[in-house]
Amino acid sequence: QVQLVESGGGLVQAGGSLRLSCAASGRTFSSYAMGWFRQAPGKEREFVAAISWSAGNTYYSDSVKGRFTISRDNAKNTVTVYLQMNSLKPEDTAVYYCAADRIRSDYVPTRLDEYDYWGQGTQVTVSS
């Protein structure tokens, strides 16, 4: 059974930090590229960050570059992907989703339609 379970969301003041986690199991996710997306109320889901299967390549949206860091831990049965979010702004408020792309290369996918599996999301709220 494929599971992507996000955690770590919550309420934080502007300028604060949060670390999101995504535990992926049920497939050999160590061979998958992993990404984070977010969706604010009334807006489309948008790309935030992604990391290649080997962690050799990462890519960030311009809106989070320099503030967010994506990383991964390729353990044997469960892959965990992290999103360290610093200097948070009210405009970072959204539901954050973890996703997995079945591609084993150094390519870092950024489009929603490239991803095969999705988590249920975790709410991040940044107060001003």
Question: Is a pLDDT exceeding 90 seen at residue 47?
Answer: yes
* Residue 23: pLDDT band with limits 50, 70, 90: very high
**Rounded Cα gap, residues 20 and 104, in angstroms:** 24
Can you tell me the mean pLDDT for 70-95?
Answer: 94
Instruction: Kindly provide the b/e burial profile for residues 32-51, where b requires at least 16 CB atoms within 10 angstroms of the residue's own CB.
Output: bbbbbbbeeeeeebebbbbb
Instruction: Give residue 105's pLDDT.
Output: 86
Instruction: Give residue 51's pLDDT.
Output: 97
